[in-house]
Amino acid sequence: MIVIFVFDENDWPGFNMQKKRLKILGLSVSQTQSGAYALVLAEDNGDRRIPIIIGPVEAQAIAIQLEGLKPPRPLTHDLFKNMAMAFDIALLEVTIYKLEEGIFYSELLCEMNGKEVKIDSRTSDAVALALRFRCPIFTSEEILNKAGIVLDVEEEDPAVQDRKDDVPRAKGASPFEKYTSGELEEMLNEAVMNEDYEKASIIRDEIKRRKK
């Protein structure tokens, strides 16, 4: 006996989903939640942007990689990458596949021994890993339509302002303006060794500003 199953593509999660590639536009301090950050993802070759509220720890994990800082000991996402590489596991891509009640759901597409496996993940963790594995980030047209925002050209976007350095920045003058470039480099190394990454990011911002 032959049984033929007929289904609608809407009944199959992720079936025939039109992928839209995203890029990381930057991080900015959240204007709606105290102590939180907004991770801004932008549509590749498009104008829509998706702001995702994340915690300070998650923001730090992303900012460290964007800044190219090298912690003396591997952080959680670095440990994940090291283990994956040790067991020959590749992270192929990250997909933000669902938005429900303001929460973004993501999954990791991994490959091991020629077999692909999808793993559920928080979006902030997925982005932090995508940076470390240098893999693409995708979402669907549906999510872009629901959560994507388009700003006028004349409208000032705090995330775009932060994109200059790709890390959260404090308002006002830098507290490290008075130091020489040599002193800043020493302070940066010391901050990284002490795992004070927030301070290290601010120092790196000042070093970048002087090089422009």
pLDDT above 50: residue 206: yes
One-letter amino acid identity for 168? P
Q: What is the pLDDT of residue 151?
A: 64
The answer to which of 71-80, 114-123, 193-202 has the lowest mean pLDDT is 193-202
pLDDT above 50: residue 7: no
CATH class for domain 15-169?
alpha beta
pLDDT band at 131 (very low <50, low <70, confident <90, very high): very high
Tell me the per-residue pLDDT of 150-167, one tens digit each, with 9 for 90 and over: 865 444 454 444 433 344
One-letter amino acid identity for 111? E
pLDDT above 60: residue 12: no
* Bridge partner list, 31: none
Q: What is the pLDDT of residue 1?
A: 44
pLDDT above 50: residue 10: no
Which helix or strand (DSSP H or E) is residue 40 part of? strand 37-43
**Closest among 73, 69, 36 to 52, alpha carbons compared:** 36
Tell me the per-residue pLDDT of 181-195, one tens digit each, with 9 for 90 and over: 888 888 877 877 776
Q: Which residue has the higher pLDDT, 170 or 47?
A: 47
Q: Whole-angstrom Cα distance, residue 181 to residue 178?
A: 10
Average pLDDT, the chain: 80
Tell me the per-residue pLDDT of 94-127, one tens digit each, with 9 for 90 and over: 999 999 988 999 999 999 999 999 999 999 999 9
**Dihedral, CA of residue 167, residue 169, residue 173 and residue 175, to nearest 10:** -80
One-letter amino acid identity for 169? R
Provide the residue ranges of all domains of the chain, joining segments of one domain with +.
15-169, 171-212
The answer to which of 4-13, 38-47, 88-97, 189-198 has the lowest mean pLDDT is 4-13
Q: Please list, in sequence order, all residues whose beta carbon lies within 8 angstroms of the beta carbon of residue 68, skipping any fewer than 6 positions away.
A: none
Q: Which residue has the higher pLDDT, 6 or 183?
A: 183
